[in-house]
Amino acid sequence: MTLYLQEIDQIVKRVNDNDITICVIGVGTIGLPLATFLADKGFSVSGLDVSPKRVEQINLGTVVYEYQEMLKKVTSNGKLKATTDPEKALENVEVIFVCVPTPLNTKNEMDISNLFDVSKRITPYLKKGMILIFESSVAIGTTKHVSENIEGMTNLRFGKELGLAYCPERYNPTPMKKDKQDLEFNTQARGESFSVDKISRVVGGIDETSTKIAKLFYSKFITTEVSELSSIEAAEATKLLENIFRDVNIALVNELAKIYPKFGLDVFEIINAAKTKPFAYMPHYPGAGVGGECIPVDTWYLISQAEKLGIDSKLMKTARMVNDSMPEHVIELLEDELKKIDKKIDSSKITILGLCYKKNIPDIRLSPTFPLLEKLATKNAETIICDPVYEGINSPINLTSISESFKDSDAIILMTDHDDFAKIDFAKIKNEMRSHIVIDGRNLFKDKELKNLGFTYRVVGKP
Ligand code: SAJ
């Protein structure tokens, strides 16, 4: 009799003895750390993925990521094996984790085709007593919806023959080298860095047994808390709140970044002052935009759901609009400075620093640099794009090395505050440039240094 249908004390014993075979479907950014930690705890884990290249890299232990050493160990001792073959991946498996992407479609609605694809691929191998645990960020009710789709293809019922739970990922993209950790982001709450095993989680199941089983597995490698919630929907809604909270609070400071400078005020000074309040304030910072597959996406999930309920989510929509307006705000600051030297964008050469959506993370998904480039193209600007963190990865855009990026340039726009850019020698590049304007979309550079060198320096959020 397999796991979900066993008595809880038998389940606890088997989890403690690592005597359960697990499959993680979707071994990408979210799934691979999960599979690696579970295998490192002693479980036999298979990773099922549609990408043969990813599967090969995993089995060779050559995936470049923060748990690479652990990955090498669990692939060489055979605890973790990746495959593209569902039959092989689901052999003797009793627990299936699902961590596939749930992007937005062109109408800003959630696209769950990957979840339906998973349903189709695994259904032939589902057996009584198995449990499915979903991690992908989704709109409320999606996990049940997908489970009904699976029930439609089998004679097995969730909550009867199969277990079902949802534990939203809280993955914190971490740069490879420890000294590059985003101190502000990581140390915010308790002054320690948040690797997968240190991030507390929440879990909700279709029933108590499912919730308990899911909690047992996460508690095997998570050293902090795993909280049980009343339902799958409660766990789905928790994830949305976490990311929408961030999106809305970033939008607030982005709006202040357009207002406070008009009073001659530096919004960063104000945020850091507010941060001295020992309670009820969490700092977020303005910038050139909000990217990544999470923050700008999850908000739309709930906006479109609310719409179907006849509710107009004014606040969330406005937050999306404000955050999406930041690349254009950066261009307005540039046009402002070009006008002062009688130049126009269509006769200017502009160096764009940063294609990645976040500092020191090699990820360009929904990066604010794309809408910036689109806007600059409509203004016939000549652009050079530089991103040393993404160089060598298959970039959809031509990237120029830092050393080659400033020749005859009229202006620099900083979109991503990679540490590599903080080391730019402005005294040296000044001689290469035609005009000397710097628009800083991430408050990275040093005001005095640039102005002493004769640069015109504008920062999003500063007068
Ligand atoms: N950003 C700002 N101002 C800020 C913070 C971020 O403009 O004060 C921008 C960043 O530059 C970036 C975007 O927002 O373009 C998103 O950055 P992020 O640091 O919020 O991170 P993600 O997308 O890498 O990770 C988020 C995190 N969610 C929360 O912090 C609530 C992470 O914990 C989640 O696991 C992840 O989304 C996810 O997978 O949902």
In DSSP notation, 304-369 reads HHHHHTT---HHHHHHHHHHHTHHHHHHHHHHHHHHHTT--GGG-EEEEE--SSSTT----TT-TH
Give burial (CB, 10 Å; 0-12/13-18/19+) of 134.
buried
Pocket test for ligand 1, best of 246, 248, 285, 414 (most atoms within 8 A of CB): 246
What does the angle CA 338 – CA 436 – CA 397 come to, to the nearest 5 degrees? 85
* 8 Å CB contact between 434 and 416: no
What is the Å distance from ligand 1's center to 296 Cα?
9
CA of 239, closest atom in ligand 1: 40
The sign of the torsion formed by the CA atoms of 378, 381, 387, 393 equals: positive
The CA distance from 432 to 408, in Å, is: 6
Q: 206, 156 in Cβ contact below 8 A?
A: no
Strand bridging mode 44-48 / 80-83? parallel
CA 42 / ligand 1 centre spacing (Å): 32
Ligand 1 nearest-atom number relative to CA 254:
7
Consecutive H or E run containing 213: helix 208-221
Question: Which mutation among 295, 301, 353, 370 tests ligand 1's pocket best, with the greatest number of atoms within 8 A of CB?
Answer: 295
Q: How far apart are CA 324 and CA 366, in angstroms?
A: 11
Distance (Å, rounded) from C-alpha 86 to C-alpha 32? 17
Contacts of 309 (CB under 8 A, 6+ apart): none
pLDDT, position 87: 97
Going by alpha carbons, the residue nearest to atom 37 of ligand 1 is 294
Burial class of residue 308 in the structure, from the number of CB atoms within 10 Å of its CB (0-12 exposed, 13-18 middle, 19+ buried): exposed
CB 300 within 8 A of CB 320: yes
| Ligand 1 atom at minimal distance to the Cα of residue 368 | 15
CA distance linking residue 285 with residue 52, whole number of Å: 39
**What pLDDT does 193 receive?**
63
Residue 426 and residue 455 in contact, taking contact as beta carbons nearer than 8 Å: yes
Residue having the nearest C-alpha atom to atom 20 of ligand 1: 295
Report if pTM > 0.75: yes
Q: Which atom of ligand 1 is nearest to the CA of 287?
A: 7
Which pairs from 378-383 meet CB under 8 Å and 24+ separation? 379/331, 379/345, 379/346, 380/345, 380/346, 381/345, 381/346, 381/348, 381/349, 381/350, 382/348, 382/349, 382/350, 383/349, 383/350, 383/351, 383/352
Residues lining ligand 1, CB < 6 A? 137, 169-173, 185, 242-243, 246, 250, 284-285, 287, 290-292, 294-295, 357-358
CA distances from 124 to 120, 149, 156, 266 (A): 8, 13, 11, 60
Which residue has a Cα nearest atom 40 of ligand 1? Answer: 294
Calculate the alpha carbon distances from 171 to 30, 99, 176, 289, 330 in Å: 6, 11, 14, 20, 29
Concatenating the DSSP letter of every residue in 365-414 gives TT-THHHHHHHHHHTT-EEEEE-TTTTTS--SS----GGGS-TT-SEEEE
* Selection from 171, 172, 226 nearest residue 204 by Cα: 226
Q: Name the token pair of 407.
A: 């020749």
Per-residue pLDDT in tens (0 to 9) along the chain, 463 residues? 589 999 999 999 999 999 999 999 999 999 999 999 999 999 999 999 999 999 999 999 988 888 999 999 999 999 999 999 999 999 999 999 999 999 999 889 999 999 999 999 999 999 999 999 999 999 999 999 999 999 999 999 999 999 999 999 998 776 654 444 444 444 444 445 688 999 999 999 999 999 999 999 999 999 999 999 999 999 999 999 999 999 999 999 999 999 999 999 999 999 999 999 999 999 999 999 999 999 999 999 999 999 999 999 999 999 999 999 999 999 999 999 999 999 999 999 999 999 999 999 889 999 999 999 999 999 999 999 999 999 878 789 999 999 999 999 999 999 999 999 999 999 999 999 999 999 999 999 999 999 999 999 999 999 9
Polymer length in residues for the chain: 463
Residue nearest to atom 24 of ligand 1 (CA): 173
| pLDDT value for 1 | 58
- CA distance linking residue 229 with residue 7, whole number of Å: 21
* DSSP E strands, 115-237: 131-134, 163-166, 201-205, 226-228
Which atom from ligand 1 is nearest to the alpha carbon of 417? 11
CA distances from 462 to 203, 264, 322, 419 (A): 42, 8, 17, 21
Q: How far is CA 55 from the centre of its chain?
A: 21
Cα 26 to Cα 54, 146, 248, 436, distances in angstroms: 10, 16, 29, 47
Ligand 1 pocket, mutate which of 99, 285, 358 (most atoms under 8 A from CB): 358
Question: Contact 169/100 with Cβ under 8 angstroms?
Answer: no
Q: Which atom of ligand 1 is nearest to the CA of 242?
A: 31
Ligand 1 atom closest to the CA of 292, numbered from 1: 23
Six-digit token string for 326? 């930041």
Classify residue 104 by its DSSP letter: B
